[in-house]
Amino acid sequence: MRWQAVVLAVALIVGLAAPAAAAPSCSDVTVPVQLDVLLPASVHGRLCLPPGGADRVQLLVHGATYDGRYWDEPIGGGRFSYVRRALGDRWATLAIDRVGYGASTREPSVLLTALTQALTVHQVVSWLRTSFRTVLLVGHSVGSAVALIETSLYNDASAVALTALTHRVSPEGLASALAFDVRPVTVDPGPLASRYDPGYLTTVPGRRAALFYGPHPDPAMLAYDEATKGVVSATEMADAIALGFALPTSLGITRPVYLVDGELDALFCGGLLGGSCSSAAALASEERPYFAHSLRFTAAVLPDAGHDLNFEPDAAVYEDALNAWADTNA
């Protein structure tokens, strides 16, 4: 009918004339830091802003054998991107490469500890405070240990979210990881061996699924993860385990805390003396005493998930819950 043709033509004209929806903007940034008074370094990061900008930002700190890309992997059309979920909730994000990793300053492995990493993260928080009213510090695994140590010392972020961490590292899981899953980077058959000194560790080829994933890994994500694996300093691992996982360093935290673990995390949940991750209530009951001085403490568990929460089929469930918590607690 003629009137239908007219309506369709008008709709097409209006649609073509309407401005395209604004997209997030991302840029690489470099933050100058000091490991100590004699050791200047730089932290590389990827800063992303939602359309229209934001006065609140999440500082994202990666774990062992990763860099800042952990938070925004290019596989699955954004399905494995925590950054995408945070931007959708109108948070800005800064995903950093910790010193020694990614595009940040390369240092000898013996100079890297979780404590010195906490010092550099503190400097990045201060840098962000010049532009953002609210800073949420978010860590993963060893990055969570760094965030925990940093907050216990400085309490400078508005709130802290810790993923893939409990205070009861499974001795069984840790022993298995050291025996079968990681080794010095210098004996790795890949290109990493020529880039790092023997004090850096990486994962044994083909072992990332057992170490980091739940029972239903995405094949494309796992293959990409194996192909782009990184390293971790052995000295950093040592005090991350001591100060971040085993000792009650977290009693120094006075900010709101959100803790989330995968139910089947092979390193931190279950097994011999591991954490209680069967439910949020069980995890909260076990972990709350370690955060006794925090303003608020919330625990959550992602069912049927492993250590790398961002790569799980149901990652969006934990990501949306963490962001919803941050909206009212940071």
Residue 43 domain-assigned (yes or no): yes
Q: What is the mean pLDDT of the segment spanning 22-45?
A: 93
Q: Tell me, yes or no, whether 204 lies in a domain.
A: yes
Predicted model pTM: 0.92
pLDDT of residue 178: 79
Long-range contacts of 300-303 (CB under 8 A, 24+ apart): 300/258, 300/259, 300/260, 300/261, 301/260, 301/261, 301/262, 301/263, 301/277, 302/260, 302/261, 302/262, 302/263, 303/263
Q: Tens digits of per-residue pLDDT, 254-272?
A: 999 999 999 999 889 977 7
Element (H, E) at 94: strand 92-96
Could you tell me if residue 5 is inside a domain? no
Give per-residue pLDDT as tens, 104-113: 999 999 999 9
Q: State residue 66's pLDDT score.
A: 98
Average pLDDT, the chain: 92
Does residue 16 lie in a domain region? no
Is the per-residue pLDDT at 16 higher than 70?
no
Taking the C-alpha atoms of residue 107 and residue 195, their distance in angstroms, rounded to an integer, is 11
Is residue 211 a part of any domain in this protein?
A: yes
In a domain, 277, yes or no: yes
Nearest CA to 186 among 194, 176, 178? 194
Each residue of 102-142: pLDDT tens digit? 999 999 999 999 999 999 999 999 999 999 999 999 999 99
Assess if residue 39 is contained within a domain. yes
Q: CATH code at 227?
A: 3.40.50.1820
Instruction: Examine the pLDDT at 40 and tell me if it is beyond 90.
Output: yes
Asked whether residue 234 carries a pLDDT value surpassing 90, the answer given is yes
Mean pLDDT of 71-93: 95
Question: Which long-range contacts does 104-110 make (Cβ < 8 Å, 24+ apart)?
Answer: 104/41, 104/42, 104/43, 104/44, 105/41, 105/42, 105/43, 107/35, 107/39, 107/41, 108/197, 108/199, 109/196, 109/197, 109/198, 109/199, 109/200, 109/233, 109/234, 109/235, 109/236, 110/199, 110/233, 110/235
Higher-pLDDT residue of 14, 144: 144
pLDDT of residue 104: 98
| Residue 318: inside a domain | yes
Domain count, the chain: 1
pLDDT digits (tens, 9 = 90+) for 287-324: 999 999 999 999 999 999 999 999 999 999 999 999 99
Tell me the pLDDT tens digit for each residue of 268-295. 997 778 899 999 999 999 999 999 999 9
Q: Which domain holds residue 241?
A: 22-329
Predicted confidence (pLDDT) at residue 14 exceeds the cutoff of 60: no
pLDDT band at 20 (very low <50, low <70, confident <90, very high): low
